[in-house]
Amino acid sequence: MMKKALWMMGLWMMVGLWALPMKAQQLKFGEDKKFKIVQFTDVHWVYNSADSEEAGERMNEVLDAEKPDLVIYTGDVIFAKPAKEAMQKALEPVIKRNIPFAVTFGNHDDEQDMNRRQLYEFIKGMPGNLTSTIEGISGVTNFILPVKASDGSKDAAVLYVFDSNSYSTLKHIKGYGWVKHDQVQWYIDESKKYTEANGGTPLPALSFFHIPLPEFHEAVKNEGSFMLGTRKEKACSPEINTGLFAAMLEAGDVMGVFVGHDHVNDYAVSWKGIMLCYGRYTGGKTVYHDIPGGNGARIIELTEGERQFRSWIRLKDGQVINDFTFPSEWIK
């Protein structure tokens, strides 16, 4: 009986450990000094719908081709009830490949039968999950993913993930939500800590969230800016600008901002020294998706010790477009 009890206890502990999120796992640069991220955005998964099959096919194809170190879903992962089953299917391609992943929510994720907190609680128990939350500030999916040097000795890059919320909570302001002041202050404080720990030099950093900043529209309107990619709609940004972009400029760490939300945009544009990038619409036929070339994903690659990144878009059948390196190919 004692042996059986001990065996059962060991099995219970193994199951419990398997179910824990991979927060203890360190992201780090490979022996080749590279760290690759795949950004899936606007998957808009509808459970038991054939219209979602194309999204699954593309995610599987991209992951097999790119073999990333990390996958980040930048919102609107699901689009219909039941939310739990839809989320499970949308995350299945990364889970079955044992790829670490993180999720931030969009404006549609919590419109089903689970709110943001409930969705987060469901996701955090999944194998490979790195999504976490910061208590006491607005939103749910605000967290930081440091990337260690290839030898594991120190932090070599930082990924800031924000919850851009859903819709305006002010009666006299219409439209979409925004990253709020307490979230901006959280970023300022955390960025300062990483800079101080690095001897006063900002670490190379990237940022990920769903709803584009007002600066996306401002940048493409400027005659002196160069845009690479497709723009078929105006950036659906919030009417409120809470200063996140300015905070990033002042901190000097964030090189690129990566968003989703607008399904027929995938452009990248440099603005005041920061690259503003849309992901590539990843979803199937459950929502509007009339972007030339069909669905796909954005890939971002960091190189250890370099303050720059490379990015490209992968479409179906191995097609790769809009390959660039920032800032070396943009700022002279």
HSE, CB side, 13 Å, CA atoms: give it for residue 265: 24
* CA 120 from centre of chain: 15
Q: Is the pLDDT of residue 10 over 50?
A: no
Closest CA to 146 of 134, 158, 132: 158
Q: Is the pLDDT of residue 14 over 70?
A: no
Indicate the pLDDT class of residue 98, thresholds 50, 70 and 90: very high
| Cβ burial, residue 165 (10 Å; 0-12/13-18/19+) | buried
pLDDT digits over 262-294, tens only? 999 999 999 999 999 999 999 999 999 999 999
Give the model's pLDDT for residue 129: 98
* Residue 52: both structure tokens together: 């979602």
Residue type, 224: G
* Residue 29: both structure tokens together: 């640069």
Give the model's pLDDT for residue 223: 77
Give the model's pLDDT for residue 330: 77
**DSSP character at residue 299:** E
Give the model's pLDDT for residue 16: 40
* CA 106 from centre of chain: 11
As a whole number, mean pLDDT of residues 192-203 equals 98
Give the model's pLDDT for residue 131: 98
Give the model's pLDDT for residue 18: 38
What are the chain's domains?
A: 25-326 (3.60.21.10)
